[in-house]
């Protein structure tokens, strides 16, 4: 891919208009008007546009550490409402696995179920 094609892809990611991107990249107005859309189906250019779009999307997403830092700042800031600070702490605790849910279960079988189990060839259920 040549430099003009790279520039075309970069401008296209910014504005989404193929003809305008081609003109900004240095192509003539007539070329840009008639052949800019053909550049979008060029495999190398299309792959580069996808790569640029992915980079742009990833740059917009906060990492877990960034989210934790932001919530920590909210929790520490005395100017925030106590309810906001508590909510930030609660969210941080959930993110870091501070809350552990314990489930206690007890399984009991009835005599009727034990009898059915025996009839189908199983041994008696032990409690």
What are the pLDDT digits (tens) for 66-90? 889 999 999 999 999 999 999 999 9
- Give CA angle at 58 (24, 86), nearest 5°: 135
More confident residue, 74 or 104: 74
- Residues of the chain above pLDDT 90, percent: 44
pTM recorded for the entire structure? 0.50
What does the alpha-carbon distance between residue 113 and residue 33 come to, in Å, rounded to a whole number? 79
Q: Is there a contact between 71 and 91 (Cβ–Cβ < 8 Å)?
A: yes
> If you average pLDDT over every residue of the chain, what do you get?
85
What does the alpha-carbon distance between residue 63 and residue 81 come to, in Å, rounded to a whole number? 25
């Amino acid at each position: 891919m040549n430099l003009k094609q790279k520039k075309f892809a970069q401008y296209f990611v910014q504005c989404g208009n193929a003809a305008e991107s081609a003109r900004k990249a240095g192509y003539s107005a007539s070329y840009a008007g008639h052949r800019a859309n053909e550049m979008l189906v060029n495999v190398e250019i299309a792959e580069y546009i996808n790569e640029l779009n992915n980079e742009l999307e990833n740059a917009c997403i906060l990492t877990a550490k960034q989210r934790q830092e932001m919530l920590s700042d909210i929790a520490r800031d005395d100017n925030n409402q106590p309810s906001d600070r508590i909510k930030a702490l609660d969210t941080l605790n959930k993110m870091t696995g501070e809350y552990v849910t314990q489930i206690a279960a007890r399984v009991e079988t009835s005599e009727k179920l034990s009898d059915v189990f025996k009839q189908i060839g199983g041994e008696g259920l032990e409690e």
